[in-house]
Copies of this chain bind each other. A is one copy, B any other.
Amino acid sequence: MASDVYTLDQLSEFTRRVFLQIGCPEKDATTAAKVLLSADLRGIDSHGIARLSGYVRLWEAKRVNAEPQLKIIHETPSTAVVDGDAGLGLVVAPFAMQVAIDKARQVGTGWVSVQNSNHYGIAAWHAMMALEHDMIGISMTNASALVAPTFSVERLLGTNPICVAIPAGEEAAFVADMATTTAANGKLEILQRKKEAAPVGWIQDAVGASTTDAHALKNGGALLPLGGDREHGSHKGYALGAIVDIFSAILSGANYGPWVPPFPAYVPMPTGMPGKGIGHFFGAMRIDAFRPAEDFKQHMDNWIQRFKSAKTVEGAERVIVPGEPELELERERRESGIPLLGPVVADLKLLGERFSIPF
């Protein structure tokens, strides 16, 4: 598919100006642009600037508050609950993660559950905030229901990603950022665009039967939890998605399960919502709350080098450490620019015209 290439600066500046236009304060617009573009840099294109007009539509629908008053509504020395005041998740999440980091500095670890937020971009950005402080970072969020638990035909969970970022020494940090489904929805969207079939084990149809129809979600189908089916451990993927849902929303007072508000503004809100907005959960653990950071990093390097140098199956170049492919792509895209598909460019041009910001 044809794509144009843009520099990070071009896209960041455009995004920042759009956020300013909908009323975000200067600082928030800058943060939101940085978080959003980190997805494009790391190759999670489904969560980057391609979603910008979606955020604007949520603001139009009055589901995003451009000037939220972020508040800690409950806390202990190692925990907090943050009320996102319906702000952009791109702004709420870094605020909450910073609270976790500050608490970790004081008492070793910090854990923050967030209510009343919106889509927060990629999980990795927030978890990785911990790395420069020699802390392990954890980030997770619930999302609107696209996933059927094992044995269910109903969609009751989002793709509910988890990211764990762990500092190393000379090696790059270990960064595992994953949806708790077999495949993220973004991968399905790629197949839809290419008009290709999905692998068995990614989705089920409206009666819960296995299907390779990449469009099955539009006809009442569902994504499958990591594992795919019961025989291959889908009850574990379901449990992981459930844990993310409970930590993000039941600890905080956000919506959970089938009641999580959808990202597309045209999709009606669920009825009987039990909480506020969507929920996130963050953790920060200071390495030296366990052992000296230098010792830890030396052993992380040893771990990483052992895994990288493992004997591989035929045809594989080497064993990959979580986070490596994204880091490679980030280096490449910072250097050579970020490719955007035709429909994304067209959408951004329209957005630019509307706000008189040249794209």
* Residue ranges of A at the interface with B (Cβ–Cβ < 8 Å): 74, 76-79, 81, 106-109, 111, 113, 149-154, 156, 164, 166, 174, 176, 178, 180-183, 199, 201-202, 204, 207-209, 226-228, 231-233, 235-240, 242-243, 245-246, 250-253, 256-258, 274-275, 285-287, 289-291, 295-296, 299-300, 302-303, 306-307, 310-314, 316, 318-320, 322
Contact = CB atoms under 8 A, between A and B. Distances in A.
Contact of A233 (B154, B182, B312, B316): B182
A156 B322 contact: no
A290 B226 contact: no
B313 A208 contact: yes
Contact of A226 (B78, B236, B245, B296): B236
Which of A233, A239, A243, A257 is packed against the most chain B CB atoms within 10 Å?
A: A233
A208 B319 CA distance: 12
Contacts of A181: 233
A312 B207 CA distance: 8
A176 to B, nearest CB: 4
Among A166, A181, A310, find the residue whose CB has the most chain B CB atoms closer than 10 A: A310
A327 to B, nearest CB: 15
Contacts of A76: 107-108, 286, 289
Tallying the copies of this chain within the complex gives: 2
Contact of A290 (B79, B182, B201, B228): B79
Given A77-B77, A182-B227, 6 more contacts: A108-B111, A151-B318, A156-B319, A207-B313, A242-B322, A250-B303
Nearest to A323: B239
Contacts of A287: 251
A9 B124 CA distance: 49
B290 A232 contact: no
A307 B239 contact: no
Given A164-B243, A303-B246, A303-B256, A183 B233 contact: yes
Given A76-B108, A307-B149, A250 B183 contact: no
Nearest to A256: B303
Contacts of A291: 74, 81, 251-253
A302 B245 CA distance: 13
A311 B153 contact: yes
Given A176-B243, A227-B182, A296-B251, A257 B79 contact: no
A171 B250 CA distance: 15
A109 B242 contact: no
A290 B150 contact: no
Contacts of A299: 250, 256, 274-275
